[in-house]
Amino acid sequence: MLLLLISVLFVAIVNGLQEAVIFTFEIPQKRDGRFVYDLITSSPPLDVNSRYAYFLLCDHFASSSIICREASDDEKVIGFVGGYRKPTDPETLFVWQIAVDEKHRGKGLPAMMLDKMLQVHNPVTITSIEATYTPSNKASYHFFTKYAKAKQALANIDDYLSADDFGSSTGHEEEKLIKIFLTPMPTTMKNKEK
């Protein structure tokens, strides 16, 4: 499988100076698990899983995950989308975690990563994307709804896990499920937001 998907040159004016960064988008390899762990650790409010979990994700679920780096650094991961095709519905890509290094937010990197991921699956059809988010995570909500709008896709939001499901002692917020229909939404479903 082709590991390096594409390089993108990003140019911005920062404090009056022109800043140019080349980003690379790659399918992760097992060794990337530790760098993904570092990114997730510095990306609150994401739940941090074990290093081992990220090694597995970068190995077993590599084809449904993407990492982004600055071309000048072949270790540090500055963007990550980790996901899988749902076992019961392989045409749905479930995005488990998505993060961009604070320094590189606001450059549209998460949408580029998701687009690259959809290209990796071509010609396997991905008809929808699912993800969950906590209502207080405005960045997450805004990113996914903006992505759906850019794709002219309908998005459906539903309950997924309640705070009680996590257990009251955990203090974990509820999780909402957003489903983005990349192909026309079934007519039996109405666009709804709870």
Ligand X SMILES: CC(C)(COP(=O)(O)OP(=O)(O)OC[C@H]1O[C@@H](n2cnc3c(N)ncnc32)[C@H](O)[C@@H]1OP(=O)(O)O)[C@@H](O)C(=O)NCCC(=O)NCCS
Residue with tokens 């998460």: 110
Count of residues in contact with ligand X, rule CB under 6 A: 22
Rounded Cα gap, residues 177 and 160, in angstroms: 5
Site for ligand X in 139-158 (CB under 6 A): 139-140, 142-143, 146
Residues 36/56, Cβ–Cβ less than 8 Å: no
Rounded Cα gap, residues 176 and 161, in angstroms: 7
Q: Which is nearer to ligand X, 41 or 125 (CB)?
A: 41
Considering only 13-21, 27-35, 109-117, 153-161, which stretch makes contact with ligand X by CB under 6 A?
Answer: 109-117
Q: Which is nearer to ligand X, 60 or 138 (CB)?
A: 138
Q: Which is nearer to ligand X, 5 or 131 (CB)?
A: 131
Asked, as a colleague might, if the bond just before 110 is cis with ω within 30 of 0, I would say no
Burial 80-97 (b: 16+ CB within 10 A, else e): bbbbbbeeeeeebbbbbb
Residue 106 within binding range of ligand X, rule CB under 6 A? yes
Q: Which is nearer to ligand X, 125 or 165 (CB)?
A: 165
Site for ligand X, rule CB under 6 A: 43, 45-46, 98-100, 105-111, 131, 133, 137-140, 142-143, 146
